[in-house]
Amino acid sequence: MRSQVLLAQLALFVSSTHAFYPYMPEWCKEEHRERRSVEDRDSRGVTLNLKQRQPKTTTPHPDHAARTAGRLSAKYGRLQRSSSPNTSLSKRNNQYNVLEASDPGRPMAAGLHQDGHDMSYFVQVQIGSQNQEYYMLVDTGAGSSWIMSDECTSRACELHDTFGPDKSDSLEESDDDFEIVYGTGEVNGTLVKDRFTIAGISLDFQFGLAHGTSSDFTDFVFDGILGFSMDKGVNQNFVSALRESNQLESNVFSIALHRSADGDNVGEIALGTINHDRHTGDISYNDIMEGNEWTIRLEDMKFNGKGAGVGGVRSYIDSGTSYAFGPQRLVEQLHRTIPGANSTDGRTWTVPCDTEDELAFTFSGVDYKISTRDWVSPRNSNGVCTSNIYGFEVVSGAWLLGDTFLKNVYAVFDMDKRRIGFAPLAVSESSSGSVSSANGEPTGTSTGVHHSETGSSHSAGTTPVPNSSASSTRLPGRTGRETETSTGSIAPEVTEDADQNAPEGSASGLQGQSLASTLLSAVAMVALLI
């Protein structure tokens, strides 16, 4: 009987393998445990200007212990639903720390705040007749948008700022339900409509009011998710609503993510404009490969100028993902070009902590240098460093490039011309002349390779800081994409024939290989536990 239960659980694990990969690297879990055990830690790194969010209510709250199992845990357990909310807790004051961004000082632009660990980037929005303020994750991989509701009694909602009819006279409620399923959790509620203001732009917008959330969101600062994908979600598409409001100078939005090691946060998002002060050289554009996802063709990855031969496949550009993920075979092929790289499972790779040679991602003939601060982890307790490029096939036969990549470029998302542009991110004035690398030695702050070519496009059929005075815990990163189910809900994407659009010889058979690997692991686990 026990073996049958185990097999059932493992079968569920296998079914979600290609859908949504919540992931917390081992080095990150170790730092998480270490930081929790020390209340006040002396830091020799960069001092961060962290602000604790002010309470929105005077209601007393219980203990400050929040569950540390985040949405991006390394465990692929069963979906934890919010059907049994914790109603024994009083509404808690919001106690999350925020590394606030400075005001860009430009029209139609807003600061991109973060958690102080480079794990999530969010913008402040005002909702309703009283302009209630909330933090919403800027997620180019999501088509849905939602905010936590006053009526929500789950653990995550009690830790966050929530919204509801009592906070807005203009809120239009409906009987339309929504549900978004993630790898280890979900949100559900009803669709509503109200005044929405971001970067000085106001519009009437339909979004989800979440009455139930899984506990996965307890570890994240943001109160909801703002979907910047052009793809359809459960509610009105936000970028479409922006375009239809006729308030933008042009139908683009631009993102500059800030690395917490670089001092004062100057991250920003610009709507309808491009801030040319935030990049060096010209912006090189890449055509979207297919559909309405922000998906372009990766040409290759290089280490110390040597191509790894891992391109020719789709690459999803996702600001809502903390790291970089790809098919196991391609990730292994990349790390074979890195001297001293080693792996016991082909998915997670250790690399020399003193690595200084450049890693670059190539799009349309242009190389974009990735700082070792972003792709090499801090040393763990054994003095080992890990690559932040992981061999997990989040989307079948494709790369998923998150903040590990985006912290190094200025990114322009063009809705009308259906393209994404990159340029090396300019070093901000707040950045020091040198920063600490993974081994503590000073390194330069250059984050890109200067190229003069412009307008190039390729049309095809697509680091956390080791010594930071930031906060007491390191939060897990997040990954994933959503896709609509037949019932109108949003569930993790499972693509059966994703490889058919990839060039011959690039990624064929990857899904089968990954599934076979998972099944073998499952059988091995059952054999050990029976």
Residues with catalytic roles: 139, 318
Q: Scan for tokens 């054994």, then name that residue.
A: 382
Contact between 267 and 112 under an 8 Å Cβ cutoff? The reply is yes
The span from the CA of 277 to the CA of 374, in Å, is 22
The span from the CA of 368 to the CA of 450, in Å, is 9
Angle at 57 between CA 52 and CA 63, to 5 degrees: 65
Contact between 395 and 481 under an 8 Å Cβ cutoff? The reply is yes
End-to-end CA distance of the chain: 10
Q: Scan for tokens 């139609």, then name that residue.
A: 108
Token pair in block for residue 131: 């302009």
Contact between 319 and 121 under an 8 Å Cβ cutoff? The reply is yes
Contact between 204 and 129 under an 8 Å Cβ cutoff? The reply is no
Question: 3-class DSSP state for residue 67?
Answer: coil
The span from the CA of 199 to the CA of 111, in Å, is 8
The span from the CA of 424 to the CA of 416, in Å, is 23
The span from the CA of 108 to the CA of 126, in Å, is 14
The span from the CA of 445 to the CA of 468, in Å, is 17
Q: Which residues on neighbouring strands pair with residue 409, listed in sequence order?
A: 424
Contact between 3 and 526 under an 8 Å Cβ cutoff? The reply is yes
DSSP single-letter state for residue 136: E
